[in-house]
Amino acid sequence: MKIGYPCVNESLDCTSTSTFRLASYSDERLELTVRNNLRCLLRILEFNVAQGMLFFRIGSGIVPFGSHPVNTFPWQTHFAAEFREVGDYIKAHNMRVSFHPDQFVVLNSPDAGIVERSIAELVYQGSMLDLMGLDSTHKLQIHVGGLYGDRELAITRFIDTYRRLPAAVTARLVIENDDRLFSLQDCLRVHAAVDIPILFDNFHHECLNHGEPMAEALQLAASTWHPERDGTMMMDYSSQAVGERKGKHTSSLIEELFREFLTHLQGVNPDIMLEIKDKEISARRAVAILHELGLASPAPQSLPI
DNA sequence: ACTCGTCAAGCCGAA
DNA sequence: TTCGGCTTGACGAGT
């Protein structure tokens, strides 16, 4: 099992998702920003390896306006060596990475323009994994999308659109159960139609479910991943922030709840993304717990600092 | 130098 | 009808 956290490292003095306003776009500025973002990404990965955190969600903003028509800079070829360097580092240290395209990627929208832009964004993010030389075990994670007042139609539209996606996207695309609209059961129906893996979110499942116990839900989600093609199951982990709005992530890892969650794995072997506000601080604590329980993968080269 | 409204993109649902 | 929230800040105009 690998532990990770999303997008932002709060310990380092750099960011891998630096961007700028569309109005101030220039090729020069794009070139500079991408260069700095990739350099920082490598630093974050090095930090993570030193702490035993081998899973990381790369922010969508590595290449600002990566799928926007304003950006005609040939960043794929211009930064081929830098992307390759990052990918080589990931492979050399047995790391796993993912992307989570933001809420504007809606494959089941009835608006053809939204679908078109969504696909372009998925192609952009998938192409970064290609440039890194990473295989289809590194994933692009999205939600099913909107309801539009008709769940059946919404699911059907997702399936129809999925079947039209380029192979470079479908090889890596996974769907995540969400906390309000599309449950694990809904995702399983999409999976049954097109064989897409389900990225399980324990907290969302607590917010929206059909009574499946956690252990059963984990088994169901795990069964949608083909080890050869997809690698081991990915999941997002969080818990409710005490005293806050329902669905709000906790600000730091609550160890008792995390340990309790681990008892439901029962043979399931997920890589776990901690969606917790304090990022690498909690991730480090989770790594220590896995080491203590003998669940960390691979065996630590050195104990966490 | 610092603040703070706003930033490419969508959707739901509470207020 | 507006607005907060969502995986996540930080750009940059105005002072």
Ranges of each domain in chain A: 3-293
Encode pLDDT of A202-243 as tens digits.
999 999 999 999 999 999 999 999 999 999 999 999 988 877
- Provide the token pair at A178: 């969400």
Checking if the pLDDT of A15 tops 80, the result is: yes
Distance of CA A151 to the CA centre of its chain: 25
Q: Model confidence at A251, in pLDDT bands (50, 70, 90)?
A: confident
Selected residue with higher pLDDT from A300 and A75: A75
- Provide the token pair at A139: 């994933």
How many whole angstroms separate alpha carbon A57 and alpha carbon A80? 20
Mean predicted confidence (pLDDT) in A133-147: 95
Would you tell me which residues have their CB within 7 A of strand B? A 21-23, 60, 64-68, 102-106, 109-111, 114, 117, 121, 145-149, 180-181
Distance in Å from B8's C1' to A104's CA comes to: 9
Encode pLDDT of A23-72 as tens digits.
889 999 999 999 999 999 999 999 999 999 999 999 999 999 999 999 99
Start-end of H helices in chain A = 27-50, 75-78, 80-92, 112-131, 151-162, 167-170, 184-194, 202-207, 214-222, 227-230, 255-262, 280-293
Distance in Å from C6's C1' to A184's CA comes to: 18
Protein CB footprint (7 Å) on chain B nucleotides: 7-13
For position A296, what pLDDT does the model report? 83
Q: Model confidence at A298, in pLDDT bands (50, 70, 90)?
A: low
User: What class, spelled out in words, does domain A3-293 have in CATH?
Assistant: alpha beta
Encode pLDDT of A125-138 as tens digits.
999 999 999 999 99
Q: Model confidence at A277, in pLDDT bands (50, 70, 90)?
A: confident
